[in-house]
Amino acid sequence: MNDLNTQKAELLGAIAAADADALEAIRVSALGKSGTITALLKTLGGMSPDERQEKAPAIQGLRSAVADAIAERKAALEAAALDVKLASETLDMTLPVGTSLQGSIHPVSQVMDELAEIFADLGFAVATGPEIEDDWHNFTALNIPETHPARAMHDTFYFPDQMARDGKKMLLRTHTSPVQIRTMTSQEPPIRIIAPGRVYRSDSDATHTPMFHQIEGLVIDRGIHLGHLRWTLETFLKAFFERDDIVLRLRPSYFPFTEPSVEVDVGYSIEKGRRVIGGSDGWMEVLGSGMVHPKVIAACGLDPEVWQGFAFGTGVDRLAMLKYGMDDLRAFFDGDLRWLRHYGFRALDVPTLSGGVGA
3-state SS, residue 106: coil
Q: Distance between CA 95 and CA 80 in Å, rounded?
A: 29
Residue 255, Cα to own-chain centre: how many angstroms? Answer: 25
Please report which helix (H) or strand (E) contains residue 54, including its range: helix 49-88
Output the pLDDT for position 350.
Answer: 67
Q: Centre a 10 Å sphere on the Cβ of residue 3 and count the other Cβ atoms it contains.
A: 9
Distance, in Å, from the CA atom of 220 to the CA atom of 91, rounded to the nearest integer, reads 53
Question: pTM score, two decimals?
Answer: 0.67
Buried b (16+ CB within 10 A) or exposed e, 227-249: ebbbebbeebbbbbbeeeebebe
Domains defined for the chain, CATH in brackets: 2-88 (no CATH), 107-343 (3.30.930.10)
- What is the rounded distance in angstroms from the CA atom of residue 324 to the CA atom of residue 332? 12
- For residue 175, what are the contacts with CB-CB under 8 A and spacing of at least 6? 138, 199, 214, 216, 313
Report the chain's terminal Cα–Cα distance, integer Å: 78
DSSP assignment string, 133-162: EEHHHHTGGGT--TT-GGGSTTT--BPPGG
* Helix/strand/coil for 129: coil
pLDDT value, residue 260: 94
Cis peptide before 294 (omega within 30 of 0): no
Q: Could you tell me which residues are beta bridge partners of residue 168? A: 165
Pick left, alpha or beta for residue 89 (phi over 0 → left; psi -120 to 50 → alpha; otherwise beta). beta
Asked whether the beta carbons of 286 and 315 are under 8 A apart, the reply is: no
β-bridge mates for residue 198, sequence order? 213
Q: Measured between alpha carbons, how far is 49 from 96 in angstroms, rounded to an integer?
A: 74
User: Side chain identity at 265, as an amino acid letter?
Assistant: D
H/E stretch holding 319: helix 316-324
Closest CA to 239 of 108, 355, 67: 355
Walk along the chain (359 residues) and give the pLDDT tens digit of each residue.
567 888 888 888 899 988 988 989 988 898 888 888 888 888 888 888 888 888 888 888 888 988 899 999 999 999 999 888 888 877 776 766 655 556 788 888 889 999 999 999 999 999 999 999 999 999 999 999 888 877 776 688 889 988 888 888 999 999 999 999 999 999 999 999 999 999 998 876 655 678 889 999 999 999 999 999 999 999 999 999 888 888 999 999 999 999 999 999 999 888 877 788 888 788 989 999 999 999 999 999 999 999 999 999 998 988 888 888 877 777 887 877 888 888 887 776 666 665 555 54
CB atoms < 10 A from the CB of 259, how many? 15
Beta-carbon contacts of 312 under 8 Å, excluding residues fewer than 6 positions away, are: 216, 217, 229, 232, 233, 264, 287, 288, 289, 290
The set of residues, in sequence order, having a beta carbon less than 8 Å from that of 140 and lying 6+ positions away, is: 299
Q: What is the Cα–Cα distance from 53 to 256, expressed in whole angstroms?
A: 71
> CB of 258 within 8 A of CB of 293?
yes
> What is the spatial distance between Cα 76 and Cα 276, in angstroms, rounded to a whole number?
59
